[in-house]
Structure 1
Amino acid sequence: MGASEQKKMTLVALILMIFTSVFGFNNIPRAFYLMGYGAIPWYILSAAAFFIPYAFMMSEYGAAFKDEKGGIYSWMENSVGPKYAFIGTFMWYASYVIWMVNISSTIWVPLSNAIFGSDRTSTWAFLGLNSTQVLGILGICWILIVTIVGSKGLQKITKITSVGGTAVALLNVVLLIGAIVVLIANGGHLAQPVVSAATFVQSPNPNYQSSISILSFLVYALFAYGGIEAVGGLVDQTENAEVTFPKGVTIAAIIITVGYCVGIFLCGIFTNWNDVLSAKNVNLANIGYITMQNLGYQIGQGFGLSEATSLTIGAWVSRYTGLSMFLALTGAFFTLSYSPLKQLIEGTPKKLWPGKMAELKDGMPKNAMWVQCAFVVGFIALVSFGGDAAAKFFAILVNMTNVAMTLPYMFLSISFIYFKKKTSINKPFEVYKNHSWVVIVTAIVTFIIGFANFFTIIEPAVRGDLKDTIWMIVGPVLFSIIALLIYSSYEKRTKGEV
């Protein structure tokens, strides 16, 4: 069997790959923290109006361009044009840079949970530096280590990724079995009671009472389904791609949606929002560990064990959660430190990049990885030494990531209309055969993304927190300007070469 045949993915392997790329365990406790059971309808709406139709768009692109190396850049370049493709892809890539800035500083929360059984990062002070600054320095060390190891090649990376994926898959099993055990032990009584149908619409969170804040939650639901476009580039590695790929996408989409909705409900079985999640020290970075620690505690209480024993069980469940999340994030971080960058460089013209940026050594864009590393280091230093408390620091980063990560979806969905119009593109697999249907689906997907981002951006300003709104706008605007500058410089340099 040749090397290329060995690498071909089966349907099951593809579903697992999509599941691990898209499904984020942390999205479950986060959703419950922000909206309670009220998150469930939004996750279903996002799956129906965004994730499933968008996943089909990606599989149509993927099947049509399965021989192209540049992923989403090639898709948009062939459909609309190179400048549009570059701005969309650069923003998509830049959102992963923001993600790396975010994770470099927040990956210490799961590590703290793994070691101590609780999040102690807010107490970490060293040589007169406060906790936010210490996390910033740790984050800078982290990205340097990842870049050194990552630039050495692919084999090392795949090993880390597989361990992390398995650990988090087991975390979902712990949540499911643990919640059922608590439910039985409490005689079918839910910690977060379902009073009426309104329980599945209203949020117990005082910050999510206004219609604007509830609508802004939609971006969290969309964000929970992010990552499918990265999988679109795997079509050429899938056996019998025209049939297997769309089937895999559909099955994975249904499993992920059901998984999220069931997971959010399970949180309510053992977590009373006001008793557990209303404390000041609960934030978006540590909510997953607090929820799982509470699961361990409630299991102990359900079996009539002492307070001390229940707390010990809680600490151990929190340690396991921390270790699993640390491994999974490490795996994802290594993959994403080179994968989007490689796709950007392989898809775009070599002359677009200054100097030796576009060079690949050992299949890795080593020079570009170091430039990327320098950018991440600069960004971490800016945010962590710019003042403000830890919760605010995490919130700004999460907000910047959400908006910057979901905007490129609009580029891809708008480009889909042009893709369908071009008869010169061979389309071996088509879900959307009717032009009116293409326009309707594109309009719905684009509207949902725009709508979610609009409300996410204006929501802090409406609350009087203009700074957050500005940060969310800064991310995408900054990256669009950088992309335009890079592209216009390339156009000037190559003007006389045509």
Structure 2
Amino acid sequence: MKSDVNVSKKLTLVPLVLMIFTSVFGFANMPRSFYLMGYSAIPWYILSAITFFIPFAFMMAEYGAAFKNEKGGIYSWMEKSIGLKYAFVGTFMWYASYVVWMVNTCSAIWIPLSNVIFGKDTTSSWSLLGLNSTQTLGLLGIVWILLVTLTASRGFEKITKITSIGGTAVALLNIVLLVGAVVVLIANGGHAAQPITAETFTQSPNPKYGSPLAVLSFLVFTIFAYGGIEVVGGLVDQTENSEVTFPKGITIAAIIIAIGYSLGIFLCGIFVNWNDVLASKNVHMGNVVYVVMKNLGYQLGQGFGFSQSTSLIIGAWVARFAGLSMFLAFTGAFFTLSYAPLKQLIEGTPATFWPKKMSKIENNIPKNALWIQCVIVAAFVLLVSFGGEGASQFFNKLVLMTNVAMTLPYLFIGGAFAPFKKKTDIKKPFQVFKSYNSSLIATIVVTLTVGFANLFTIIEPATNGDMQSTLWMISGPLFFTIVALIMYSNYEKKTKKEQNYKVA
């Protein structure tokens, strides 16, 4: 009991907002969005904020306040709103999406570290034990998940300290982007590197996003960028004065993040000309953040009248700072997301779903389950990294897998909200949607937004002859859905046997 009290004292409003910010706000999403869509990404971020993120965040606040004493997080929410099977499949899918995210991040985290050391991304030339770069990154990814698991298994206190550092690092990186872009704008006499016209907010400079279907598929990227706020739902029971602090923390974080993304994408265009900087074949989803930030440093040097060589040195140091900040942010998010989803899955679901050793909790951490998760992630990293593809294709595939896998579970969580509001026996101390009709509209809007976004994203590659990408996006969620249904079927059989035994 003593450890639980100490944990609850740590999660006051500011640490909670930092944890949400670390889990949700991905600095990389802004340069990546500018790389994919230019300024035309901004309207899509605003649209998805209105139709998904803000209503979804308020849903999470209502769920969290109503079930503040439930340790199961989103599982408890869905189980009490709809039923056990719906809740288990939805939660398992949601948990599986973070397994995919960890597979992605295990390999991607070495790119910012490369920028810290070398001032640029050199991972495409890394080689260990005679392996190629993609295989080397996979091997390093396995080392990373082992280190994270070893640290996280020692307790929640270690995790909260690391996530707070990560949140602070991202905040500082955003300040650098904001101040740097303004200085460049002034130095250039108010002229942006990427011309600002009405057309630039509706048309992407990226030729791959020229078709209406490709543009619509970008919606899932914006939803993914807003994802993660439901993770902290499982920490309601560890938040001080949770009925007030938890909804307030989510609301504050949601508004800051929604404004921050749109502003950040716009600022990228102040110092980056898409055709000059991002059209290169060497630029991909994994390293575009550091290409953009290196260019910011270079433009700052040019703006102050320094020589080209000095400007390049400044660019390399800005890339190093961006690498360090992103490395700390990735680390903070990784620790939170390696623990919180697993906690909700193990503690929330009936104990009979799991072997006794797997469901054992020590120091508020499911240690055995954490190590099993480590083995699963390592296996996926090996499978993907030794698939024989180049670094650019490797990272693009991982991003595609992650985007779809992490947004599909929102269909389950959002879909349970209207039934939750309809149940009058559930006490609701915090309510944004005062009537059932308003909650039903919110449910429909959120689920349709997520549903159509994923549909467009999945079918878009196939229409251009890239069936492999479509299959990769379908295979992950489909595999985990089948696993969840098999597990639930075994649970039902086990429950029936126990009931028949008792009757006999």
Match of 2:260 in 1: 259
Question: What SS class does the counterpart of residue 233 from structure 1 fall into?
Answer: helix
1:447 offset after TM fit, Å?
Answer: 0.2
Q: 311-320 or 160-169, which moves further after superposition?
A: 160-169
**Offset from partner CA, 1:263-290 (integer Å, 9 cap, x none):** 1111000000000000001111111111
The answer (yes or no) to whether the contact 2:71–2:235 under 8 Å persists in 1 is no
1:333 alignment counterpart:
334
Contact 2:22 2:329 in 1 (8 A): no
With 97-106 and 14-23 compared, the bigger mean Cα shift is at 14-23
State the TM-score, normalized to the length of structure 1.
0.96
Secondary structure of the 1:217 match is helix
Q: Alpha-carbon deviations, 1:439-497, whole Å to 9, x = none?
A: 21111100000011001101111111000000000011011111111111121112133
1:43 is aligned to 2:64: no
Q: Secondary structure of 2:408's match?
A: helix
Deviation at 1:239, TM superposition (A): 4.6
Letter in 2 for 1:283: H
Q: Describe how 1:219-258 pairs up with structure 2 within 5 A.
A: 219-258=220-259
Matches within 5 A, 1:90-489: 90-194=92-196, 196-489=197-490
Give 1:240 shift. 4.6
What's the CA shift string for 1:59-101, capped at 9, x where partnerless? 1111111110100000001111111101100111111111111
Cα distance, 1:229 vs. partner? Answer: 0.8
Please list every run of 5 or more consecutive structure 1 residues that lacks an aligned counterpart in the other structure: none
Aligned length: 496
- Which deviates further from its counterpart, 150-159 or 37-46? 150-159
TM-score, length basis structure 2: 0.95
The Cα offsets for residues 323-376 of structure 1, whole Å up to 9 and x where unpaired, read as 111111112212222221111101011111125111112222111112111111
Q: Give the distance between the partners of 2:336 and 2:14, measured in 1 at CA.
A: 21
Which deviates more from structure 2 when the two are superposed, residues 253-262 or residues 43-52?
Answer: 253-262
Cα distance in 1 for residues equivalent to 2:326 and 2:249: 25
Q: Which moved more, 1:182-191 or 1:150-159?
A: 150-159
SS at match of 1:224: helix
SS at match of 1:127: coil
Distance in 2 between the 1:68 and 1:6 partners? 14
In the other structure, the counterpart of 2:80 is 78
Q: Quote the offset at 1:402 in angstroms.
A: 0.8
Deviations 1:2-46 (A, max 9, x none): 946961755444433332321111111011111000011011111
CA distance in 2, matches of 1:87, 1:447: 19
2:34 aligned with 1:32: yes
Distance (whole Å) between structure 2 residues aligned to residue 435 and residue 360 of structure 1: 38
Q: Structure 1: how far apart are the matches of 2:347 and 2:190?
A: 55
Which stretch shows the higher mean deviation, 454-463 or 359-368? 359-368
Change (3 A) 1:430 1:84: same
Root-mean-square deviation over aligned CA pairs: 1.6
CA distance in 1, matches of 2:8, 2:334: 26
SS at match of 1:279: coil
Distance 2:6 2:113 in 1: 38
Deviation sequence 1:294-325 (CA, Å, 0-9, x none): 00000001111111100000000001111111
Which piece of structure 1 moves more, 488-497 or 309-318?
Answer: 488-497
Of residues 449-458 and 2-11 in structure 1, the stretch that sits farther from structure 2 once superposed is 2-11
Amino acid aligned to 1:70:
G
Letter in 1 for 2:47: L
1:216 and 1:248 map into 2 onto residues whose CA distance is 31
8 Å CA contact 2:7–2:157 kept in 1: the answer is no
Distance 2:416 2:267 in 1: 39
Aligned residue for 2:58, secondary structure, equals: helix
- The residue matched to 2:195 in structure 1 has which SS? coil
% identity of equivalent residues:
69
Counterpart for residue 19 of structure 1: 21
Quote the residue 2:502 is aligned against.
Answer: none
Aligned residue type for 1:62:
G
Match for 2:463: what amino acid? Answer: V
Quick one: which amino acid aligns to residue 137 of structure 1?
L
1:145-183 residue CA offsets vs partner (Å, 9 max, x unmatched): 221222122233333222222122100010011111111
1:7–1:118 CA distance, 2 compared to 1 (3 A): same
The letter of the residue matching 2:283 is: V
Q: Is the 8 A contact 2:52 2:223 kept in 1?
A: yes
The 5 Å alignment of 1:46-65 reads 46-65=48-67
Tell me if the contact between 2:111 and 2:286 (Cα under 8 Å) persists in the aligned partners. Answer: yes
CA 36–371 in structure 1, closer or farther in 2 if over 3 Å, else same: same
- The 3 A distance-change label for structure 1 pair 429 and 208 is same
SS in 1 for 2:395: helix
Task: State the 1:237 CA deviation.
Answer: 4.1
Distance in 1 (alpha carbons) for counterparts of 2:151 and 2:113: 20
C-alpha separation between the residues in 2 aligned to 1:329 and 1:248? 21
CA distance in 2, matches of 1:4, 1:371: 28
Alignment CA distance shift 1:335-1:252 (3 Å): closer
Provide, for residues 112-141 of structure 1, a one-character-per-residue CA deviation record: whole Å limited to 9, x for no partner. 001000000011123331111111111111
C-alpha spacing 1:485/1:249, structure 2 compared with 1 (3 Å): same
On the 8 A contact 2:64/2:247 being kept in 1, the answer is: no
Residue aligned with 1:358, SS: coil
The answer to whether the Cα contact below 8 Å between 2:72 and 2:344 also exists between their aligned partners in 1 is yes
* Distance (Å, rounded) in 1 between the aligned partners of 2:390 and 2:427: 53
In structure 2, relative to structure 1, the CA distance for the partners of 1:27 and 1:322 (3 Å cut) is same
- Greater Cα offset, 382-391 or 291-300: 382-391
2:15–2:164 CA contact under 8 A, matched in 1 = no
